[in-house]
C-alpha cells in the first residue's frame, strides 16, 4: 500500500496565538495515511485534530515539517495556484455544519459546483452529478431545495458535492457532530460505502468512539501530537491511557474493564459487538 | 415556512412561456417596459392590454393567482391614480369644483391610464420573471446578459454568485432569526410592547447574534468553497448551459414588433384616439 497523505514532524501555530507561550496547535506531528485506508482521528477538543485536517488540503500551511499528498510535497509555500487546486481536487473535505457548505439553491446545482469550478465539460458534469447523488442515495432529491432536507440528507448532499470532483481521499471534519442519531447513521453508512465500494481513502475526525471503531486505523491526538496509534482493538484495549487523553472508551470496553477490576476476572479487552461481549462476560462469570 | 424563497413565486408549468430562455424573457420585459412608457395613443394601450391578457392565458398561470399577487399593491396604484386626478390641470371646463379642488375630464382619463399602466407592468413583469422563471434561471440569465460588461472589468460573475448565495441563505437566516428570538424571549426579552424606540432597542439582542453567526457562516462557507476549488468565474463551466432555441427567436421578434407597433400607433393613430 502506498501512502497518500504523509505528515513529517509538522508543527503549526495559529497566528493570533503568537503572544501565548507554547500554544502550538500541532507539535511535531507525524502521520501516515495509506491509499484506500479508513483512518479515524480521535482527540479531545483543542487536541489539534481539525488543524491537522486543514493542513492536508492546503487550507493552512505548516510552520515547519513536511506534508506529502500522493508523493508530492505540499508544505512548500511557493506553490502555483493550479497545483493547489489539484491537491484540493484530490483531497476533498466535508465539514461539520451542512448548512455552511451548500452553495446553490437546488441539490443538483450544488453537487455540480465542484466539477464546474474544475472546468469539466457540461455533459460530463451531468453524468458525475447523477452518479454522485446515486452513491449517497439522494437521487430522488435532485431537484429539491437544500434547506428543506434533514441534517443527514444535507450532509449527504455535501458529500455528493465532494464525490463529484472524483477525489482520492475525503476528510470528514466532525461531519456527524451536528446530526441526530439517525442522520449520523445515514452519514456513517455512506462513508463506509465510499471506502469499501468506491475505494476512496477516508480520514474521519470524530469524537464518537462507536464511529472510530469502524476504522482500519485509529490515531489518538493529545496536545497537538500523536498520542496513540493502532487498530481499534489495540487502541481501545487501553482504557486508562485513553482516559488520560480526555476521551471515553466504548461502553462494552468500559464494562469489561470494570468487571475485570471489581470481580478479578480476566476477560480480554477488545472491540466486540453486543452478542460477543455478552457471551464473554457470561463465560467469565460462570468460570 | 409557506413561502419558499428558492422558488420565489414560481408556478410549475410547461407552457411556451415557461420554456423560453430567461434571457429572452428579460429582453422582452425590458421592451415591454419601454413600450408601456412610450405608449400615448389609446390604441396602443388596447394593444398592450391584449398582449398581457394573451400571455397570461398562454402561461396557464391561473388568473386568480395573478390577482392575488396584485392585491397588496392595489392601494399604491389607487393612491397614485387619485393623486393624478387632483393634480391634472386642463384648459377645458372643470367637471367638478369645490374650494381649491378642481377635477377635469383629462384628469380622470390620465388617472385611469396611469393605473392601467402600472397594473399591466406589474402583471407582465411578475408573469415573466417570477411566475414562469425560477430565481436560479433568472440569475443565470442576468449573468449571461451582463457578460459583455466583463470587458470593462465589472465583476459580473461575482455579482451572480452573490445573488445565488443570498437566495440560498435567506431561509437559513430566517430560521436562525426565529431561533434567536425564541432564545431571547425565553430569557424574558419583550419585543411587542412599548414605543417605537423601545421596540427598536429590543431588536439589538437579536441583530447582534445574527450578525456574529452570519460572519461565522460566511467564513465557513468560504473555506468550503475553496475546498471545492472555487476560484471565481475564470475557467469555470456550467452544468446547464443556457441555449437559445427557435422559439426564442420568435420571442425577440415579438418584443421588437411590440415596441414598433406601439410607436407606429402613437404616430399614425394619434388623431383617432385619445393622447396623453
Q: Would you say residue B177 lies in a domain?
A: no
Facing B227 at nearest CB: one of A92, A104, A105: A92
Query: In this structure, are A212 and A284 located in the same domain?
Result: no
Q: Looking at chain A from residue 130 to 189, which residues have their Cβ under 8 Å from any Cβ of chain B? A: 145-148, 161-162, 165
pLDDT, mean of residues B121-145: 89
Interhelix angle A251-263/A274-286, rounded to 10 degrees, is 10
Are A147 and B172 within 8 A, CB to CB? yes
List the domain range (segments joined by +) for residue A85: 3-234
Query: In this structure, are A114 and A171 located in the same domain?
Result: yes
Query: In this structure, are A179 and A286 located in the same domain?
Result: no
Maximum CA pair distance of chain A?
68
pLDDT digits (tens, 9 = 90+) for B66-102: 888 888 888 999 998 888 888 777 777 777 777 777 7
CB pairs under 8 A between A and B: 103
Q: Would you say residue A242 lies in a domain?
A: no
Query: In this structure, are A159 and A186 located in the same domain?
Result: yes
Query: In this structure, are A38 and A121 located in the same domain?
Result: yes
What is the tally of structural domains in chain B? 1
pLDDT digits (tens, 9 = 90+) for B36-65: 988 888 888 999 999 999 999 989 888 888
Q: Would you say residue B92 lies in a domain?
A: yes
Q: Would you say residue B176 lies in a domain?
A: no
pLDDT digits (tens, 9 = 90+) for A179-233: 999 999 999 999 999 999 999 999 999 988 888 888 999 999 988 889 999 998 8
pLDDT, mean of residues A248-256: 82
Query: In this structure, are A176 and A282 located in the same domain?
Result: no
The yes/no answer to whether this complex scores an ipTM above 0.90 is: no
In order, the DSSP letters of B91-141 are SSPPSEEETTEEE-HHHHHHHHHHHHHHHHHHHHHHIIIIISS-HHHHHHH
Contact list in B for residue A173 (CB cut-off 8 A) is: none
Q: Would you say residue B158 lies in a domain?
A: no
pLDDT digits (tens, 9 = 90+) for A2-12: 889 999 999 88
Looking at residue A80, its pLDDT comes to 81
Q: Position of cell 419558499?
A: B4
Q: Would you say residue A11 lies in a domain?
A: yes
End-to-end CA gap in chain A: 44
B172 close to A (CB below 8 A): yes
Q: Would you say residue B194 lies in a domain?
A: no
Cα distance between residue B48 and residue B121, in whole Å: 10
What is the Cα A13 distance to its own chain's centre?
22
pLDDT digits (tens, 9 = 90+) for A105-142: 889 999 999 999 999 999 999 999 999 999 999 999 99
CB count in 10 Å sphere of residue A161: 29
Answer yes or no: is pLDDT of B1 > 60: no
Q: What are phi and psi of B102, to 5 degrees?
A: -130, 135
pLDDT digits (tens, 9 = 90+) for A262-286: 887 777 777 777 788 888 888 888 8
pLDDT digits (tens, 9 = 90+) for B209-239: 999 999 999 999 999 999 999 988 888 888 8
Q: Would you say residue B254 lies in a domain?
A: yes
List the domain range (segments joined by +) for residue B115: 16-148+241-268
Looking at residue A286, its pLDDT comes to 81
CA distance B159 to chain A (A): 14
Q: Is A208 helix (H, G, I), strand (E, B) or coil?
A: coil
Facing B136 at nearest CB: one of A100, A106, A117: A106
Looking at residue B225, its pLDDT comes to 94
C-alpha cell at B227: 475546498
Q: Would you say residue A215 lies in a domain?
A: yes
Are B136 and A105 within 8 A, CB to CB? yes
Are B239 and A104 within 8 A, CB to CB? no
Cα distance between residue B59 and residue B124, in whole Å: 11
User: Lowest mean pLDDT: which of A72-76, A144-148, B28-32?
Assistant: A72-76
Facing A97 at nearest CB: one of B220, B230, B238: B220
Beta bridge partners of A203: A39, A171
B167 close to A (CB below 8 A): yes
Measured between CA atoms, the residue of chain A closest to residue B168 is: A105
What is the tally of structural domains in chain A? 2
Run of H or E residues at A41: strand A38-43
Are B223 and A59 within 8 A, CB to CB? yes
Query: In this structure, are A103 and A149 located in the same domain?
Result: yes
Answer yes or no: is pLDDT of A21 > 60: no
Query: In this structure, are A181 and A281 located in the same domain?
Result: no
Cα distance between residue B75 and residue B93, in whole Å: 30
Contact indicator for A246, A48 with CB cutoff of 8 Å: no
Q: Name the nearest CA neighbour of A268 among A239, A237, A240.
A: A237
Determine the residue among A56, A84, A100, A114 to mutate to test chain B binding: the one whose Cβ has the most chain B Cβ atoms within 10 Å.
A100
Query: In this structure, are A39 and A103 located in the same domain?
Result: yes
Decide which of A78 and B156 is more confident.
B156
Are A117 and B6 within 8 A, CB to CB? no
Cα distance between residue B77 and residue B118, in whole Å: 7
Looking at residue A15, its pLDDT comes to 79
Q: Would you say residue B215 lies in a domain?
A: no
Cα distance between residue B122 and residue B107, in whole Å: 23
**Predicted confidence band of residue A1 (pLDDT cuts 50, 70, 90):** low
Q: Looking at chain B from residue 217 to 276, which residues have their Cβ under 8 Å from any Cβ of chain A? A: 217, 220-221, 223-231, 235-241
Answer yes or no: is pLDDT of B167 > 90: no
Average pLDDT, chain B: 86
Average pLDDT, chain A: 88
Are B168 and A105 within 8 A, CB to CB? yes
Facing B228 at nearest CB: one of A99, A114, A125: A114
Q: Where are the beta strands (DSSP E) in A130-231?
A: 169-173, 201-206, 217-222, 225-230
Answer yes or no: is pLDDT of B2 > 60: no
Cα distance between residue A175 and residue A162, in whole Å: 13
CB count in 10 Å sphere of residue A209: 22
Contact indicator for A169, A202 with CB cutoff of 8 Å: yes
Query: In this structure, are A165 and A287 located in the same domain?
Result: no
Query: In this structure, are A144 and A215 located in the same domain?
Result: yes
A166: left (phi over 0), alpha (psi -120 to 50) or beta: left
Determine the residue among A54, A56, A99, A167 to mutate to test chain B binding: the one whose Cβ has the most chain B Cβ atoms within 10 Å.
A99
Q: Name the nearest CA neighbour of A96 among B78, B93, B221, B256.
A: B221
Looking at the whole model, is its pTM more than 0.95?
Answer: no
Contact indicator for A231, A217 with CB cutoff of 8 Å: yes
Contact indicator for A168, A70 with CB cutoff of 8 Å: yes
DSSP-derived pairing of the beta strands A38-43 and A201-206: parallel
Burial A186-205 (b: 16+ CB within 10 A, else e): bbbebbeebbeeeebbbbbb
Q: Would you say residue A240 lies in a domain?
A: no
A95 close to B (CB below 8 A): yes
Q: What is the CATH number of the domain that holds A81?
A: 3.40.50.300
Answer yes or no: is pLDDT of B182 > 80: yes
Q: Would you say residue B225 lies in a domain?
A: no
CA distance A92 to chain B (A): 7
Contact indicator for B270, B40 with CB cutoff of 8 Å: yes
Query: In this structure, are A192 and A282 located in the same domain?
Result: no
Looking at residue B276, its pLDDT comes to 55
Amino acid at each position: 500500500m502506498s501512502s497518500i497523505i504523509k505528515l513529517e514532524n509538522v508543527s503549526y501555530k495559529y497566528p493570533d496565538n503568537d503572544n501565548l507561550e507554547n500554544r502550538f496547535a500541532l507539535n511535531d506531528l507525524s502521520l501516515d495515511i495509506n491509499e484506500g485506508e479508513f483512518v479515524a482521528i480521535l482527540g479531545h477538543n483543542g487536541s489539534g485534530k481539525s488543524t491537522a485536517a486543514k493542513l492536508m488540503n492546503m487550507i493552512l500551511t505548516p510552520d515547519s515539517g513536511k506534508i506529502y499528498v500522493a508523493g508530492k510535497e505540499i508544505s512548500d509555500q511557493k506553490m502555483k495556484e493550479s497545483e493547489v487546486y489539484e491537491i484540493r481536487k484530490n483531497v476533498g473535505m466535508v465539514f461539520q455544519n451542512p448548512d455552511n457548505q451548500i452553495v446553490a439553491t437546488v441539490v443538483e446545482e450544488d453537487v455540480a459546483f465542484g466539477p464546474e469550478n474544475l472546468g469539466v465539460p457540461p455533459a460530463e458534469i451531468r453524468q458525475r452529478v447523477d452518479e454522485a447523488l446515486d452513491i449517497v442515495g439522494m437521487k430522488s432529491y435532485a431537484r429539491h431545495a437544500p434547506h428543506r432536507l434533514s441534517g443527514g440528507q444535507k450532509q449527504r448532499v455535501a458529500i455528493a458535492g465532494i464525490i463529484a470532483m472524483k477525489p482520492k481521499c475525503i476528510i470528514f471534519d466532525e461531519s456527524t457532530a451536528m446530526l441526530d442519531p439517525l442522520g449520523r447513521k445515514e452519514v456513517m453508512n455512506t462513508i463506509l460505502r465510499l471506502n469499501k465500494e468506491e475505494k476512496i481513502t477516508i480520514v474521519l475526525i470524530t469524537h464518537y468512539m462507536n464511529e472510530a471503531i469502524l476504522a482500519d486505523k485509529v490515531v489518538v491526538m493529545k496536545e497537538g501530537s500523536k498520542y496513540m496509534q493502532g487498530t481499534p482493538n489495540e487502541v481501545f484495549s487501553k482504557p486508562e491511557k485513553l482516559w488520560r487523553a480526555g476521551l471515553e472508551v466504548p461502553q462494552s470496553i468500559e464494562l469489561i474493564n470494570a468487571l475485570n477490576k471489581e470481580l478479578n476476572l480476566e476477560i480480554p479487552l477488545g472491540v466486540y459487538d453486543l452478542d460477543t461481549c455478552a457471551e464473554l462476560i457470561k463465560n467469565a462469570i460462570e468460570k | 415556512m409557506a413561502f419558499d424563497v428558492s422558488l420565489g413565486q414560481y408556478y410549475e408549468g410547461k407552457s411556451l412561456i415557461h420554456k423560453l430562455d430567461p434571457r429572452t424573457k428579460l429582453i422582452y420585459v425590458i421592451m415591454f417596459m419601454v413600450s408601456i412608457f412610450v405608449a400615448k395613443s389609446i390604441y396602443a394601450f388596447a394593444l398592450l392590454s391584449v398582449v398581457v391578457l394573451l400571455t397570461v392565458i398562454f402561461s396557464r398561470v391561473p388568473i386568480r393567482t395573478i390577482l392575488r399577487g396584485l392585491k397588496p399593491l392595489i392601494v399604491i396604484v389607487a393612491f397614485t391614480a387619485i393623486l393624478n386626478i387632483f393634480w391634472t390641470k386642463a384648459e377645458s371646463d372643470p367637471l367638478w369644483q369645490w374650494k381649491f379642488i378642481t377635477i377635469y375630464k383629462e384628469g380622470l382619463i390620465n388617472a385611469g391610464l396611469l393605473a392601467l399602466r402600472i397594473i399591466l407592468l406589474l402583471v407582465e413583469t411578475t408573469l415573466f420573471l417570477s411566475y414562469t422563471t425560477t430565481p436560479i434561471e433568472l440569475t443565470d440569465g442576468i449573468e449571461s446578459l451582463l457578460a459583455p460588461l466583463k470587458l470593462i472589468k465589472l465583476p459580473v460573475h461575482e455579482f451572480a454568485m452573490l445573488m445565488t448565495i443570498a437566495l440560498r441563505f435567506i431561509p437559513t437566516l430566517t430560521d436562525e432569526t426565529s431561533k434567536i428570538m425564541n432564545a431571547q424571549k425565553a430569557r424574558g426579552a419583550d419585543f411587542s410592547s412599548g414605543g417605537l424606540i423601545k421596540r427598536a432597542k429590543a431588536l439589538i439582542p437579536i441583530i447582534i447574534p445574527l450578525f456574529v453567526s452570519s460572519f461565522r457562516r460566511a467564513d465557513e462557507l468560504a473555506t468550503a468553497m475553496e475546498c471545492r476549488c472555487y476560484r471565481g468565474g475564470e475557467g469555470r463551466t456550467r452544468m446547464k448551459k443556457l441555449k437559445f432555441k427557435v422559439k426564442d427567436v420568435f420571442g425577440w421578434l415579438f418584443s421588437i414588433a411590440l415596441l414598433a407597433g406601439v410607436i407606429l400607433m402613437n404616430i399614425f393613430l394619434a388623431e383617432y384616439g385619445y393622447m396623453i
